[in-house]
Amino acid sequence: MTNRRKFNAEFRAEAVELVISSGRPIAQVAPEIGVVEGTLGNWVRLWKEEHPEAGAAEHSPVEWAKFRALQSENAE
């Protein structure tokens, strides 16, 4: 059996925002938040692929997660 943990979208978004906004390396942030380095790296990579235009003045990963949640809610 595997002991895989599931992380909700808000946690992932906050973890990505922590990496991006702090400018600290993934290897430093991952153990602090209890996530495997590769997993956090995947989250950051996916966010950057989905938001190639995002710069320092753009919306944060947490804001994007909230936006998507509101879109889903409105679609219902």
pLDDT tens per residue, range 25-38: 999 999 999 999 99
Cα of 44 vs its chain's centroid, Å:
6
57 inside domain: yes
Domain that holds residue 65: 9-75
User: What pTM, to 2 d.p., does this model score?
Assistant: 0.68
Helices (H) and strands (E) in the chain, counts: 4, 0
Q: Which segment of 4-13, 34-43, 50-59 scores lowest on mean pLDDT?
A: 50-59
CATH number of the domain where residue 39 is located: 1.10.10
Number of structural domains in the chain: 1
In a domain, 38, yes or no: yes
Q: How far is CA 31 from the centre of its chain?
A: 15
Q: Report if residue 4 sits inside a domain.
A: no
% of the chain beyond a pLDDT of 90? 43
Question: For the chain, how big is the Rg over CA atoms in Å?
Answer: 13
Q: 71 to each of 44, 64, 67, 74, how far by Cα in Å?
A: 22, 10, 6, 5
